[in-house]
Amino acid sequence: MPLVRVTGHSVLAVALILLSSKTVRAEEKTPADSPSQSAATTSATATSATTASTPTGTTVKDAKLAGDNAWMLTSAALVLMMTAPGLALFYGGLVRKKNVLGVMMQCIFLMGMNTVIWGLWGYSLAFGGDPKSADFNPWIGNGQYLLMHNVEPHWNEATHKADIPMADDIPRLTHMLFQGMFFIITPALICGAFAERMKFSTMIAFTILWGTLVYCPLAHWVWGGGILQFGSTFAIGHSPTSPGGALDFAGGTVVHISSGISALICALLIGRRLGYGSEPMPPHNLTYTMIGAAMLWVGWFGFNAGSQLKSDSIASSAMAATHFAAAAGAVAWAVAEWITRGKPSALGGCSGAVAGLVCITPASGFVNPMAAILMGIAGGLACCFACTSIKSKFRYDDSLDAFGVHGVGGTVGALLTGVFATRAVSDVNGGAPLGLIEGGRIFTGQAIATAITWLFAGIVTFVLLKVLDATMGLRVTQQQEIQGLDLSQHGEEGYIFI
């Protein structure tokens, strides 16, 4: 089985695979293959579905695919934009001048490395396997999509035309791309916790392991038909009478809770920055942070509304909820500061918007605008409290508040989804009510999924860091930390204004 070799000398292996692709495909034909196959057939059927075709032979399916694909490709672009420039600016502005490139480079490098990993094995581990098939594994994906087999189009000698694997309404490649952007930004969020002191090499090792061992399983559980997917037959708590699992429209658990709690563990294990508490460490460029926040807001439209995986009215609902929550969060945090400290800060407004966005993420496709406003307020206030009181109380150095915003906001969001979700927006439970307010009973599921994510992400991260600390070391030397990551890790300076 070539895949073992792959992880080792991937490039070489990749080349081999490429040359011997046909054979490999042959070997790999497994029942798990069927979905893309059937999809391929579907697409074939479609093209022959003349009932709906105009004189020139365009089918309704092609037409719909054009629209859905347009939105999904746009969404993928928006989500990539969230990591950089978005997050790169948001985080980059918050650190001291001497570390700005360090933070930005983490974003750019992850954009590169995690994309490659996603293509080689990540997507397969997360989304491989068909819940309907006999040998489906609810804990982790399978090998069907390794190296993008059954994702990329492949030439069918029989029909003498290409088979194009589909994922429902969109090409599977589009689905892979869109989901891949999440695989980039999630670990990038964690960087906020160990900013200004993490060794670049260790950060890379950590991300490879974390992405493979934390993100991929979680994504499989929640979106791949696994143990947390709402309504999946494999879902915890699933029974004839109850759907089981939890609602997570765009990644409250998979993205925000997982990164947030992992961030907390990082902050605790790597320890405080040199001079933390004594020296002032103000953001060196709040204008970057504000620009970054605005880009995150815009990009989040792709993140949430794109998670509908097509361009229909639910996508519109998700975008509306996203926008209202961000807005309410921004106002809430700024006003909270105004009341408690006498001044609304620009950073507060931006942080509030992000907090609102984090909070609405799991609920975005399930709630109406007014609920979104309330969730935005809740997220804004909860995170504001976490970043101020809690953090200063326990004196851990979550440098850029990755936990304070994503961990706390994600948790609040996952739980409130159980309160505000309504079948009016997405009727995912056969007409049965969803959230508490409309008399639904999904709340317990939300709480369970949240707890599981906390535990799973927290424990695995803890173990990974302990191992890496013993082997590579987490932190740069004191010397290097004083000099700054830009010079010590990358041999560059951010600004040379002379």
Partner 1 sequence: MKKIEAVIRHFKLEDIKNALMELGVQGMTISEVRGFGRQKGHTEMYRGTEYAVDFVPKVKLEIVVSNAQLASVIDTIMRTAQTGQIGDGKIFVIDLANTIRIRTGETGEDAI
Contacts of partner 1 in 306-345 (CB under 8 A): 337, 341, 343, 345
List the one residue from 63, 451, 467, 482 that touches its own copies (CB under 8 A).
63
Using the contact rule CB under 8 A, the part of the chain among 59-67, 228-236, 262-270, 461-469 near its own copies is 59-67
What angle separates helix 172-190 from helix 258-270, to the nearest 10 degrees? 30
**Strand pairing partners for 161?**
156
**Strand pairing partners for 155?**
162
The contact mask relative to its own copies for 121-160 (x = CB under 8 A, - = no) is --------------------------xx--xxxxx----x
Check: CB of residue 263 under 8 Å from CB of residue 406.
yes
Check: CB of residue 341 under 8 Å from CB of residue 322.
no
Q: Which does 351 bind (CB under 5 to 8 A by kind): its own copies, partner 1, none?
A: partner 1
Instruction: Give the integer Cα–Cα distance in Å for 320 and 249.
Output: 14
Using the contact rule CB under 8 A, the part of the chain among 40-48, 202-210, 277-285, 355-363 near partner 1 is 277-285
3-state secondary structure (DSSP) of residue 223: helix
Q: Look-up: residue for tokens 């429209």?
A: 249
- Whichever of 23 and 316 has its CB closer to its own copies, that residue is 316
State the CB neighbour count (10 A cutoff) for residue 8.
Answer: 8
427 scored as a contact of its own copies (CB under 8 A): yes
Contacts of its own copies in 432-491 (CB under 8 A): 437-438, 486, 489-491
End-to-end CA distance of the chain: 58
Check: CB of residue 481 under 8 Å from CB of residue 95.
no
Amino acid type, 384: C
200 scored as a contact of partner 1 (CB under 8 A): no
Check: CB of residue 232 under 8 Å from CB of residue 131.
yes
Contacts of its own copies in 275-304 (CB under 8 A): 282-288, 290-291, 293-295, 297-298, 301-302
List the one residue from 55, 279, 313, 470 that touches partner 1 (CB under 8 A).
279
- Whichever of 171 and 348 has its CB closer to partner 1, that residue is 348
User: What tokens were used for 226?
Assistant: 């696994």
Q: How far is the CB of 275 from its own copies (least distance, A)?
A: 14
Is the bond into 85 cis (omega within 30 degrees of 0)? yes
Q: Which residues contact 107 (CB under 8 A, 6 or more apart)?
A: 83, 84, 87, 88, 91, 188, 191
User: What tokens were used for 229?
Assistant: 């997917």
Q: By C-alpha distance, which of 117, 128, 251 is closest to 184?
A: 117
275 scored as a contact of partner 1 (CB under 8 A): yes
CA angle 110, 138, 250 (to 5 degrees): 50
Contacts of partner 1 in 359-418 (CB under 8 A): 387-389, 391-392, 401, 404
480 scored as a contact of partner 1 (CB under 8 A): no
141 scored as a contact of partner 1 (CB under 8 A): no
Q: Which does 378 bind (CB under 5 to 8 A by kind): its own copies, partner 1, none?
A: its own copies
The contact mask relative to its own copies for 189-208 (x = CB under 8 A, - = no) is -----------x--------
User: What tokens were used for 19?
Assistant: 């040359």
Using the contact rule CB under 8 A, the part of the chain among 17-25, 205-213, 256-264, 472-480 near its own copies is 17-25
- Whichever of 11 and 134 has its CB closer to its own copies, that residue is 11
Binding site for partner 1 (CB under 8 A): 275, 278-283, 337, 341, 343, 345, 347-348, 351, 387-389, 391-392, 401, 404, 482-483, 487, 491-493, 498
